Amino acid sequence: MFGSYATNKFTTESDIDLAVFLKKDDIDGFSEDVKLMHLRRKVDLRIEPHSFARSDYDEPDPFIQKIITSGKRII
């Protein structure tokens, strides 16, 4: 989890940003995000999933590095 919920600076209008790092590298990010959006309906519509490939975790750009270092690990 990253963003305002991870930093405890959320408001009633905040979404819950979740970074999902997949075990594979060759992903279609859009398709994976659509699947995750369907799953969120069963949990909480405020959840905003963001899928990333394994390589994004292994060699993170500055945005992903910030997610890794300042986010809250859920699973």
CA distances from 38 to 33, 45, 68, 72 (A): 9, 10, 25, 23
* 8 domain-assigned: no
Count structural domains, the chain: 1
* 38 domain-assigned: yes
The pTM score is: 0.83
* 39 domain-assigned: yes
Give me the tens of pLDDT residue by residue for the chain, a chain 75 residues long: 999 999 999 999 999 999 999 887 777 778 888 889 999 999 999 999 999 999 999 999 999 999 999 999 998
* 20 domain-assigned: yes
Give the tokens for residue 46: 């405020």
Structural domain that includes position 66: 16-70
* 41 domain-assigned: yes
